[in-house]
Amino acid sequence: MVQLAQTYPDKVTLVNGGPTYEGRPVNYLRVSTTNFQDLSKPVVFIMSLLHSREWIGQAATLYALDKLLINNTESDLINDIDWIIMPTANPDGYIFSHDSDRFWRKNRRFGSSCMGVDLNRNYDINWGTESSDSPCSETYHGTEPFSEPETVVHKKIFEEHQDRVLVFLDIHSFGSYVLYGYGNGELPPNGEALSSAAISIGDAIDAAKLPNNPNYTVGNLAQTLYPASGGSQDYALSVGVPYAYCLELPAFRGSTSITGFLVDPEFVEQAGYETWEGIKAGARFALNSNRMRKGIP
């Protein structure tokens, strides 16, 4: 990320969004041909590794950076859109998943009985209704909404670019899903458009995916996978982001157990490639519908 900011100073700014619980920077890149100064441009915000063990998601964000900056063949994407890309949304958990426990999911908030808060249950949207109040649970929601420094960093990004974030993608694994809110099964007022864009994302990935992997399933989080509260895509919807999704990338070699989080070296580049196809489809769908709504040809 530092190298990209140094190599493309006219397009890339490295931002330290603030410290994690353990004091690491939550870094992200702003990618823009107009240095984020053209407020008429929509913003696409992509993050990964909110759940630290879901390593394959990072391949997708890094691949997106490659296609936007190093090997860009579709200039509309960088000319028409400002991008915020955060490859590691939960740095403390990610380091811990490397050093100590490969299957660590939460952040590293100290607890006398158990460590960590599930950051994807900690956002201030229906908080605490479909999550756990037990610190030892994998879905522990924390002591209050936005109790965790990492989710506060994400919240500030939405606040800073209010009304400009058109698409939000939180990339997880695993299970091959495009999911949208709300996590209690209710749909937002733009549910139909939200669903249509999700289908375009899923179709684009399916057209590029490996034959052995299943097609993506597209749907509302609660109706398709399970109910969940306090999630990032729900929070994004609640603050006015029209197109907010959780992507679940494919499992490791079709596994249905915890080993699904492992990374197949042969799949790393492919994961980036096929997810990028989905990201592009979603961004263009949103861009076009936004233009139509504003009456721009």
**Shortest distance (Å) from residue 34 CB to Zn ion:** 33
What distance in Å separates the CA atoms of residue 87 and residue 59, rounded to the nearest whole number? 8
Residue pair 52/115 in contact by the 8 Å Cβ criterion: no
Q: Which is nearer to Zn ion, 251 or 287 (CB)?
A: 251
Q: Which residues neighbour 18 within 8 Å (Cβ) at sequence distance 6 or greater?
A: 25, 26, 149, 152, 153, 156
**Shortest distance (Å) from residue 248 CB to Zn ion:** 7
Q: Per-residue contact track with Zn ion, 178 to 217, x per CB under 5 A? A: ----------------------------------------
Site size with Zn ion, rule: CB under 5 A: 3
> Per CB under 5 A, does 161 bind Zn ion?
no
Residues 139-158 that bind Zn ion (CB under 5 A): none
Q: Per-residue contact track with Zn ion, 233 to 252, x per CB under 5 A? A: --------------------
> Per CB under 5 A, does 121 bind Zn ion?
no
**Shortest distance (Å) from residue 235 CB to Zn ion:** 15
Element (H, E) at 111: none
**Rg of the chain, C-alpha, whole Å:** 18
Q: Which is nearer to Zn ion, 82 or 92 (CB)?
A: 92
What distance in Å separates the CA atoms of residue 103 and residue 116, rounded to the nearest whole number? 13
Q: Where do the H-state alpha helices sit in the chain?
A: 2-7, 56-65, 76-79, 91-99, 149-160, 191-208, 221-224, 232-238, 268-294
- What values do phi and psi take at 24, rounded to 5? -80, 155
What distance in Å separates the CA atoms of residue 111 and residue 3, rounded to the nearest whole number? 36
Q: Which is nearer to Zn ion, 84 or 221 (CB)?
A: 221
Catalytic residue list contains 248 = yes
The one catalytic residue in 54, 248, 274, 277 is: 248
**Shortest distance (Å) from residue 228 CB to Zn ion:** 10
What distance in Å separates the CA atoms of residue 121 and residue 143, rounded to the nearest whole number? 11
What separation in angstroms does the CA of 111 have from each of 107, 115, 137, 142? 11, 5, 12, 10
Residues 41-60 that bind Zn ion (CB under 5 A): 51, 54
Q: Which is nearer to Zn ion, 245 or 285 (CB)?
A: 245
Maximum separation of any 2 CA atoms in the chain, in Å: 58
Residue pair 136/114 in contact by the 8 Å Cβ criterion: yes
| Piece in contact with Zn ion (CB under 5 A), picked from 96-104, 169-177, 197-205, 208-216 | 169-177
| Piece in contact with Zn ion (CB under 5 A), picked from 130-138, 150-158, 165-173, 187-195 | 165-173
**Shortest distance (Å) from residue 76 CB to Zn ion:** 31
Q: Which is nearer to Zn ion, 42 or 231 (CB)?
A: 231
> Per CB under 5 A, does 172 bind Zn ion?
yes
Q: Which is nearer to Zn ion, 106 or 172 (CB)?
A: 172
Beta strand pairing status for 43-48 and 12-19? unpaired
Q: Dihedral (C-alpha) 131, 86, 59, 236: value to the nearest 10 degrees?
A: 40
**Shortest distance (Å) from residue 51 CB to Zn ion:** 3
Residues contributing to the site for Zn ion (CB under 5 A)? 51, 54, 172
Q: Which of the residues are catalytic?
A: 248
